[in-house]
Amino acid sequence: MRSICAMRSLLAAAAAAASAPNVLRASAFPSRPPLLSLPFRRGRALAARNMLGAARSVSAAVQSRAGGGAAVEARAAQSGEIHVIVGPMFAGKTTALLRRVQAEAGNGRSVALIKSDKDNRYGLDSVVTHDGTKMACWALSELSSFHEKLGIEAYNEVDVIGIDEAQFFDDLYDFCCKAADRDGKIVVVAGLDGDYKRKKFGSVLDIVPLADSVTKLTARCELCGHRAFFTLRKTQETKTELIGGADVYMPVCRQHYMDGQIVIEATRIVLDLDRSTTAAKALK
């Protein structure tokens, strides 16, 4: 009974409050001091702008001394990009690279294509896909030599740089940093992310943290037709860098990669036994 009475009293008080005019007393909201932080924030913003302007001036001076001049400064004002294309052999990495570079050229941009001089399967003057599509390129041992070989003025005019077989370039990371971050270039990189042992191959994976986009392509397993993520080496050669095509490598799915490793290991054991037997007979 008491609880009912108490509830009625509360309802009555609420109704009275609702019917009364809404008057906000000044004492209910303590007065605040003037905003002292606004001039401080403006001062910090002004200082930041001054520092940014000074940094740009220093950067322009350094670029001018390096021989870049106004062209490099204008290029650096643009935002560079890095796009990475990876996958096993026969996944269409070079095809994707050429399509991207040709599309950029079709949009009016100046393009240049680079490949490692280690890859001489189809000649050194062109990047060639497995189906025969080709495009003229620079064959280099080091990416750092591209700027010098092309010339400062010609380099400054290049908008897009394509790099094929990127796993063979030890200076890939440094080159991509400078080309995109400093020079405002669009860099498109294609290469193997792993070797035949499924271990990191070269510096391709090192530039993933720098990339605007990363595309992982797959091939078709040569043994079952399913998606292939790995490259299986058919020969007994164990060195990491072994240039070859379908005569040396084939794309495989996970199951056939593991089966292939078992077959390769069994073959190696048989060959070792044959060599041991032959050597023993020769000693007799």
**Which active-site residues does the annotation give?**
165
Q: Which two tokens stand for residue 3?
A: 């609880």
- Please tell me the distance from the alpha carbon of residue 83 to that of residue 183, in angstroms, as a whole number: 16
Report the first-to-last Cα separation within the chain, whole angstroms: 116
CB 191 within 8 A of CB 204: yes
Q: Which two tokens stand for residue 187?
A: 């860099």
- Please tell me the distance from the alpha carbon of residue 157 to that of residue 33, in angstroms, as a whole number: 57
- Please tell me the distance from the alpha carbon of residue 211 to that of residue 204, in angstroms, as a whole number: 11
Burial 13-31 (b: 16+ CB within 10 A, else e): eeeeeeeeeeeeeeeeeee
